[in-house]
Structure 1
Amino acid sequence: MRVRALQEGYHGYFPASKARPVQPQKESAYAPTAALHSPPELERAQTLIDRYDAILFDAMGVLISENDALPGAADILAQLNMSGQPYYIVTNISSGSDETIFARLRDAGLPIPAVDRIVSAGGVARHRVLEELSAGRLVSYVGSAHAAHDIFGKHPNLHCADTAETFDTLVVLDDEGFDFKRAADHILSTFHRRLIETGEMPRIIAANADIIYPGKNSSLVFGPSIIGPMLQAGLAPFGAPPISVELMGKPGRAIFEECIARAGTDRLLMVGDQVDTDIKGAKAAGLDALLVTTGLNNSGELRHDENGAPAYVAKTLSQIFDGDLFPHRR
């Protein structure tokens, strides 16, 4: 789950500029000397994963669709397990703790060896939300009570946004297991009341920053962070200022910084199916990115400008092993 950076308000999901062919990026400063000076015939024998210390995989649309593994995903992870190549699942899924997401992906048939391979937006947001609660602020969540308590625990200042009368901070989790429309209506009224009473509005911490994500049979589904554009549009007639949004999940930097910290290196490759979250988020964090034409991009129709141009484009995950993406970038 994923889409466009929200820090400066809400704009169109895809750039209006004409899509451009993928352009090569500069060589990483961390590329091995041997890779820079090897003869062409040796370079052609290398595969894409040889260039990186670890691989970052998006979950939804790359490895799974809802609760089922996508074709070939389990085999790819099994190959990485055998080779010893480190990898992490970097997901905006915020329906539970990292342990809950780990169990969900294992139940889908993905052979992920340990929970520390899960880097979730909810897990990254946990520290910030606990800071808000420790400071005495009232925090409400968009999501189910189960998800919130699984990630943050229970706290007297933590309440569901579809019932809370007021709050200082709104944290966006997942859209599973509750009535999103009812919650959105109540949140709109709460923001409006705060605006009238104080001239200010609550801040938003977006764990799950997805505005859309892939559903079944190539369908599109609105993600939980659609609440941001909805609130901004609904409050515009009342002179509301831009809503302050702090991104924890993709495309925000926080989740990629967590990946770098866990891997102990920034020589990482992000593999995703969305330009505005996976690709732009990784590039903004200084990482290379591969756009795979599965999930949301299953027709290869996502547009991008220079900021969203991936280093590589692949039709299948298996191409990270077969070498046809290296040394030439598509």
Structure 2
Amino acid sequence: MAQTRRLLEPDFADDLDRARKGDDDAFARLVEPLRGPLHAHCYRMLGSVHDADDALQDALVRAWLGLAGYEGRGSLRAWLFTVATRTCLDLAAARGRRALPIDLGPSAERAAVGEEPRTDVAWLTPYPDVVYERRERVELAFVAALQHLPGNQRAALLLFEVLDFSAAEIAAMMDTTVGSVNSAIARARRTVAQRIPAAPQQPTLRRIGDERIREIVAAYATALEHGDAAALIALLTEDVTWSMPPLPTWYCGLPAVTDFAVRLPLTTCGSWRHLATSANAQPAIACYLRAGESGPHEAWSLNVLTLREDRIHEITSFIDPATFARFGLPPRLP
């Protein structure tokens, strides 16, 4: 309804007329309220912030050049999401799906010391938190599960369940039939249900409460900084998993995770410092490492935590210092 009312507002009509005549400032004003949701949609479609940046830029260029094709009969929102979805489908076909280590093979029982990063894999990347009304739809497990869907199923599911377009609208957007859209949504739901937990993180986080979440994050950081294996283990579930893209090895279960933690981050890597943050609408910790005896702690990894009750069920450590700038984090700590 808000979009319908906006179509009738004088300012909107004036900006639309100006934009069609080549006024890029007017076009920017039209697009600005939807820029955030469009970027989040591109991220969910592609599993990469970098790819989402590229897709959104390309989509807005396409929209600017094709603005004459928008006749104002439907909402600008639907038209822009059509352009963005088609752009993402093109990009996904060219670049392939994003993965996490769990997608590559079984977990390891012992720490893989001296492991080299896999540069031949397109890795999923974390998403900086934004004010978004459906936060469960940017959670890491959900975005990772989407990457296992064919492009048309991924698009149909997101447009229907996240963005609330009707099957008829999606059929028009994707140039197909309502029956094909309904079939794609049904298949997508089955695949996603097989790959994500029964409950999203948001109800769990609300139940735990912000104060307890801060305590868990602080305890995790303190355990790493002090090399305290017992304190770290006390925070974890029995079936905890720990993965570290772009390293391909991942660990499942308390014995394997404990062996990894004791042999590498707790005793071997060096001195740690941490900053609390959030990613994918989940608690996260920016990890800074100093390998030598002196000097600053350098950005190392962004650890996204998935909680079950008040224990850590999954740790996904994205080892990529370049990620820190996207999250507004400093590159080093003195």
* TM class by smaller structure: under 0.3
Q: Higher relative contact order by CA 8 Å / sep ≥ 6: 1 or 2?
A: 1
Higher gyration radius (CA): 2
| TM-score, length basis structure 2 | 0.25
Which structure has greater helix proportion?
Answer: 2
